[in-house]
Amino acid sequence: MDIVYIRDLRIDTIIGIYDWEREVRQTVSIDLEMASDIRRAAETDDIQYALNYKAVSKRLIAYVENRNALLVETLAEEIAQVIRAEFNVPWLRLRLSKPGAIRGARDVGLIIERGARPEGLPL
């Protein structure tokens, strides 16, 4: 299995549990690794057989910009569900962070994996 990835996709959204967080848009950063067999796309040089990372990015931007979640955990689960269902992704690893959320730290967040891990994929 191959991996198609997106790194540091930054999206402004309402996220957080504190009153002030509900009033301002904050940036979240998404790193996404998605299992995909790229062989047919490579053989044909045809985008219809590829996992289109531009389409995935556009869908994530549209979803996250309008979500207004309280917890990063909720947003991460929902993103994983959208990607797996709409793009037929059997496995993904998602890192969702809030840059600057904690003074002294570059970012905070979480990493989740959903689906069956492809054989031979390093941890």
Q: Model confidence over 56-75: pLDDT tens digits?
A: 999 999 999 999 999 999 99
Cβ atoms of residues 109 and 97 within 8 Å = yes
H/E segment holding residue 3 = strand 2-13
Residue linked to tokens 């998605």 = 34
Alpha carbons 54 and 71: distance in angstroms, whole number? 26
Confidence of residue 122 (pLDDT cuts 50, 70, 90): low
Average pLDDT, integer, range 48-57: 97
Alpha carbons 72 and 108: distance in angstroms, whole number? 10
Domains of the chain by residue range? 2-115
Q: Looking at this protein, which amino acid is placed at residue 108? A: V
pLDDT at residue number 101: 86
Alpha carbons 1 and 119: distance in angstroms, whole number? 8
Picking from 42, 10, 40, 43, the residue whose alpha carbon sits closest to that of residue 25 is 10
Between 93 and 117, name the one with better pLDDT. 93
Averaged pLDDT score across all residues of the chain? 94
Alpha carbons 90 and 64: distance in angstroms, whole number? 21
Picking from 74, 80, 72, 67, the residue whose alpha carbon sits closest to that of residue 96 is 72
Is it the case that residue 83 has pLDDT exceeding 90? yes
Confidence of residue 34 (pLDDT cuts 50, 70, 90): very high
54 has catalytic annotation:
no
Cβ atoms of residues 97 and 32 within 8 Å = no
Q: Model confidence over 103-120: pLDDT tens digits?
A: 999 999 999 999 988 777
Domain 2-115: state its class.
alpha beta
Q: Which of 32, 34, 80, 98 is catalytic?
A: 98
